[in-house]
Amino acid sequence: MQVAGHTAAPPLLLAREAPPVLDPAGWLVSEKFDGVRAYWDGRRLRSRSGRVMAAPPAFLAGLPSAALDGELWLGRGRFEALAGLVQRSDASESDWATVRYMVFDLPGAQGRFAERYARLQAMASPGGVWQVAPQVQLASPAALAQRLREVLDGGGEGLVLHRADSLWHAGRSSALLKLKPRPDDEAVVIGFEPGRGRLTGLVGALRVRDAQGREFRIGSGLSDALRRQPPPVGSRISFHYRGRTASGVPRHASYWRRLEAGD
């Protein structure tokens, strides 16, 4: 069993929000998997924050020596079960038997994305613990909208578009876009505000900070159970929002889910 711990955060390519209307010519399109981002450095499986995941030896033995970037996935709508599993240090090989590592890039590799995707397809073995996330070309905005409807109707989260001619680099990039019915982003919990009225004695809102250093409150989307036992300070959460202010602060931010405990 790989022992969990922390290392430096791995270099990752991060997506921006797609515009409402986009011509998909020149892009490769895949499903946005509702899973946990995972970076394989050839020896260790790490989260976005650098936490070493306690994956069973048999799972790790099926991964190549090359670095991989992808998403651990149990299937549509099963994020909570997966998030709980990858936090465990005592999970067995049978617990991980249905986990799929959906790989979408070769971080740090040379060549344009279409070439890296072809290289991944040549590397993967049928029935292995890791699979290449299928990428398709779509001919028109209407075809893109139709594909999004199909994924959403099937219980999926959305789509990811990657410029076929883009070179790999770390950081947030307009060469990688996520297309969802409601935009989302991430932030770190930095404190709490007390509730009032019916919520007296509970958390009224989370105080959070996003990757750009903007601080704001998230008061909606929290169940009473979460208000009694909120995500601790330092934990990463994901939230939905509707537009941004001129300074970039999300409008109508609503709590969605906690990402990685302790990260």
Separation between Cα atoms, residue 51 and residue 263, nearest integer Å: 7
Residues 6+ apart with CB under 8 A from 143: 24
Residue 234 contacts residue 225 (beta carbons within 8 Å): no
Could you tell me the two tokens for 70?
């992808």
Separation between Cα atoms, residue 69 and residue 71, nearest integer Å: 7
Residue in 30, 32, 37, 206 annotated catalytic:
32
Residue 48 contacts residue 10 (beta carbons within 8 Å): yes
Separation between Cα atoms, residue 183 and residue 188, nearest integer Å: 17
Exposure string of 60-98, with b = 16+ CB inside 10 Å and e = fewer, is beebbeebbbbbbbbeeeebeebbebbbeeebeeeebee
Active site residue 178: no
Give the DSSP letter of residue 244.
B
CA dihedral sign of residues 7, 238, 183, 77 = positive
Amino acid in position 100:
R
Separation between Cα atoms, residue 73 and residue 200, nearest integer Å: 38
Catalytic positions, written as ranges: 32
